[in-house]
Chain A
Amino acid sequence: MSGNLYTRKMGEEYNTIFRQCVSLNTELHKLVPLAKQMHLLSSNAVSSAARAGSEGDAFRVLTQDIQLLGDEVSDCIGDTQKVIGEIVKLASNLAKLFSHYMIYMSLQERLEDQETMTSATFFEHGHQLVAEELKANNYKLSRSLNSLSNLLSPIARLVKKGEYLAVFSSVEAASAGEHGVSFEAVSSMLRELVGQLGLQSARQRSLLRDLSDAMEKQQINQGKLLYAR
């Protein structure tokens, strides 16, 4: 493949990566209201357990677990928000650096065909600097994507845990009769929230997989173009 084809392909890949990062960012932001709803659910669970009075001992134990789950989900979501901000910034920077890289390439091509008073090495410095920054940014982006993947991985476990808690809450609510009515509502809300969390995290994992594939392809092309220089 010629240098021009590589650069065009890489340009498309950087744009794809940037768009995928933005989509992932959008998806991850959808988790923020879920974290808030988990907190609300914890408060509801506390008041439901209190309303059940002496019949609510089992609810109080479940409430502690729901609170713990809520905290874990919130922490997980909070951490992903920090990392995704950095990822979008790096992806946008990569796209910008790559456009600079291409501009320098176009300049070098022009200079090759003409007599010039400017020494050949002058613009090499800029070109090289951009290439180095591209490599460094790429490395940082890969690392941040790995961190994000690690941060998202506990969500599947939390969803499972939430589903179990919803079942237990429902069973306890049913056996407590009329004392368990409000706790049944907590159980339904929990089931719905972890359901949403499960769906969203599946979508995010799929986006992240696509993004990692795109990064892998792009790094192969980058290797061919930048390291061959």
Chain B
Amino acid sequence: MRVEKLYKKDTHSWMVMGRDAERREEVIDTNHYLIEHDGRGLLLDPGGVENFSVVAAEFSKHFELANVEAIFASHQDPDVISSLPLWVQANPDLIVYMPQIWVSFITHFGVKLENIRPIPDEGGVITLAGHELEVVPAHYLHSSGNLSVYDPQSKIFFSGDIGAALLPHDSTNLFVEDFDAHTQYMEYFHRRWMPSNTAKMRWIAEVRKRDVEMLCPQHGAIFKGEDVARFLSWFENLDLGSAWNNVR
């Protein structure tokens, strides 16, 4: 498991964890992010029950997890949020931000409504120790209720499944090193899991309004610097919902 600091200035930082070498081959690799501000923490897409102990143990090395006051779930998938009851059992006061339309589904994991702060379709702002983070709608990319997070201070954009790549099992790179070579790991994922070109164009327009230095997906490698714009152009030209090769 690799943990790296993506940004650090004063009391504000971003950390990423990914490439869990211990995971079973059939379990998709996931990236998890921890934002720290003034000693308080926000976990983005903390992952599934399958890797809870790895995620918790790794982040424990770098942060007092008792100070994680909230969790953000970009959408409802098990690899994103099925560890939620374990986090809430450890800290019953934990706040959980999630797309409003998934509240009654995610509660099936056993978490109570009092912990949940639903985020409306139009997105909004969430705060961590007074620091504001923008929540940007990313519906239908891939989930019908899907959200991204932008941090204006670090200029990091957490994109959930957008920009995800299905990397080879032994891959250790946390960052995209050769964009053109990297597209082979992204293309099928986006064409197959994402259904809407309209949604894609709306989201791209939202990202382009912002000054983004890093685009951080939940699977695969992180885009830095010029690779952010490269990704947006590549994504813009990709026909979503078009992976029909295996379908009669």
Contacts and interface: CB of A to CB of B under 8 A. Distances in A.
Interface of A: 96, 99-100, 103-104, 106-107, 110-111, 114-119, 122-123, 125-126, 129-130
Given A117-B64, A119-B64, A126 B89 contact: yes
Residue from A99, A107, A130 having most chain B Cβ neighbours under 10 A: A107
In the complex, the 10 A-B pairs of residues with the closest C-beta atoms, listed nearest first: A126-B90, A126-B89, A118-B60, A110-B57, A107-B53, A116-B60, A118-B65, A106-B53, A122-B66, A129-B89
Nearest to A109: B53
Contacts of B61: 114-117
B89 A110 contact: no
Contacts of A117: 60-64
Contacts of A129: 89
Contact of B89 (A99, A111, A125): A125
Contacts of B59: 118
Interface residues of B, number: 21
A96 B60 CA distance: 25
B56 interface: yes
Nearest to B52: A103
Given A100-B85, A125-B89, A118 B63 contact: yes
Interface string B43-79: 0000001001110110111111110000000000000
B60 A104 contact: no
B86 interface: yes
B91 interface: yes
A184 B123 CA distance: 74
A122 B53 contact: no
A99 B89 CA distance: 13
A96 B108 CA distance: 13
B89 A130 contact: yes
Given A111-B60, A116-B61, A99 B90 contact: no
A107 B91 contact: no
Contact of B56 (A96, A99, A123): A123
Interface of B: 49, 52-54, 56-57, 59-66, 85-86, 89-92, 110
Contacts, number: 60
B115 to A, nearest CB: 14
Contact of B53 (A110, A118, A130): A110
Nearest to B88: A126
A119 B90 CA distance: 12
Contacts of A106: 53
Given A117-B60, A117-B64, A122 B90 contact: yes
A99 B49 contact: yes
A103 B86 contact: yes
Given A118-B59, A122-B91, 17 more contacts: A96-B110, A100-B49, A100-B89, A106-B53, A107-B56, A107-B57, A110-B53, A116-B57, A117-B61, A117-B64, A118-B66, A119-B66, A122-B64, A123-B65, A125-B90, A129-B89, A130-B89
5 contacts: A110-B57, A114-B57, A114-B61, A115-B61, A123-B90
A118 B60 CA distance: 5
Given A100-B89, A129-B89, A130-B89, A107 B63 contact: no
Contacts of A104: 53, 86
Contacts of A107: 52-53, 56-57
A23 B90 CA distance: 34
Nearest to B51: A103
Nearest to B49: A103
Contacts of A99: 49
Contact of B54 (A100, A110, A125, A130): A110
Contacts of A100: 49, 85-86, 89
A34 B33 CA distance: 58
B166 to A, nearest CB: 26
A105 B57 CA distance: 12
B60 A125 contact: no
A223 B16 CA distance: 40
